[in-house]
Amino acid sequence: IMQYQTTGSFIAKDNRRTEENELIALRKENKRLLMENDILKQAALIMGRKSS
């Protein structure tokens, strides 16, 4: 109830501080970049095998 009185919402993302939202966004971007890096590493291995 205290959260609702402060922000007018019960939704968790509406009740986060700016720093918390930024941290969540950075973690999400980091995870995406790690996945992209893994994909590129696998592609490089596959291309290396084909050219051999």
Q: pLDDT tens digit string along 10-41?
A: 666 667 888 999 999 999 999 999 999 999 99
Find out whether 21 and 7 touch, Cβ atoms under 8 Å.
no
Q: Tell me whether residue 30 is exposed, middle or buried, using C-beta atoms within 10 angstroms of its C-beta: 0 to 12, 13 to 18, 19 or more.
A: exposed
* Res 43 pLDDT > 70: yes
Here the tokens at position 1 are: 């109830």
The pLDDT, as a whole number, for residue 37 is: 98
DSSP assignment string, 1-52: -HHHHHHS---GGGGS-HHHHHHHHHHHHHHHHHHHHHHHHHHHHHHHHHH-
Q: Is the pLDDT reported for residue 49 higher than 70? A: yes
